[in-house]
Amino acid sequence: MNKRVLFGLFLTFSIIVLTTPVTLAEGPTVCFRKRAWYGGTTIPLNTNVQWLIEIEIHTDSAIDDVVVTDRLGAELEIDLPFPASITHGTASYTTQGGSNKVFLTWNIGDLPADTYAAFTFWISTDINPAGKQEYTSCGCYELNSGATIKYYYMGVKYSASTSPITISVTG
C-alpha cells in the first residue's frame, strides 16, 4: 500500500491510541504526548500491520536542550520515509542487538514559549530472524517503552515519560 495515500486517509478513518498526556507539576507547563494513528489496538497473528506514531509537545515557557527518546519493541521496524513529518529539530534512529531493537532520538534544541512541536513516523511489524511475520504469539505487547523527554528550564533539568502504547494480538 502507498503510505502517502494512507497518510491522507488517516484523518477520516483512523483508530487513535492515546497515551495520557504528561504535564509536569513543577517548572513550566509542558504537555508531552505520544499516540498511534491508524493500525488499531487488536491485530491478528502473523500479519503485517502499520502504524503512524506521533509525539507532540506543547510548552507555555521557553525550554532548552530538549531531547526526546524512545525504544520500539523488537517485533517492529521503522518504515520510510523517516521522519514522516517534523516541526522542530532532527530525528534519527539506531538498531541494536540480534533482534534489531529500534532506539529513536528526537533532538529538538530550544523551544520558545507557547510552542507546539510534533514528530511523526511510520512503523510496522517486522520479519523475525526465523523468516516469519511478527507477531507470532497471541498476547499483549508494547509498541514502545514510553517516550521520554528531557529539557532545561531556567538551568534546572526536567524529565518525564509517556506510558507505552499497547496492542493485543489475537489468533
* Residue listed under C-alpha cell 500500500: 1
How many other CB atoms sit within 10 Å of the CB of residue 72?
24
Confidence of residue 1 (pLDDT cuts 50, 70, 90): very low
CB 63 within 8 A of CB 152: yes
Determine the average pLDDT of the residues in 141-156: 94
Per-residue b/e over 111-150, b at no fewer than 16 CB within 10 Å?
beeebebbbbbbbbbbeeeeeebbbeeeeebbbbbbbbbe
Show Cβ contacts of residue 22 under 8 Å, excluding neighbours closer than 6 positions.
31, 32, 33, 149, 160, 161, 162
Q: Which position has the higher pLDDT, 153 or 11?
A: 153
φ, ψ for residue 79, nearest 5 deg: -105, 155
Q: What structural domains and CATH numbers belong to the chain?
A: 3-170 (2.60.40.1170)
With a cut of 90, say whether residue 19 has pLDDT above it.
no
CB 72 within 8 A of CB 90: no
**pLDDT per position as a tens digit, 57-106:** 999 999 999 999 999 999 999 999 999 999 999 999 999 988 889 999 99
Ranges 20-24, 26-30, 42-46: which has the least confidence: 20-24
CB 28 within 8 A of CB 153: yes
Conformational region of residue 6, where left means phi above 0, alpha means psi within -120 to 50, and beta covers everything else: alpha
**pLDDT per position as a tens digit, 97-148:** 888 899 999 999 999 999 999 999 999 999 988 999 999 999 999 999 899 9
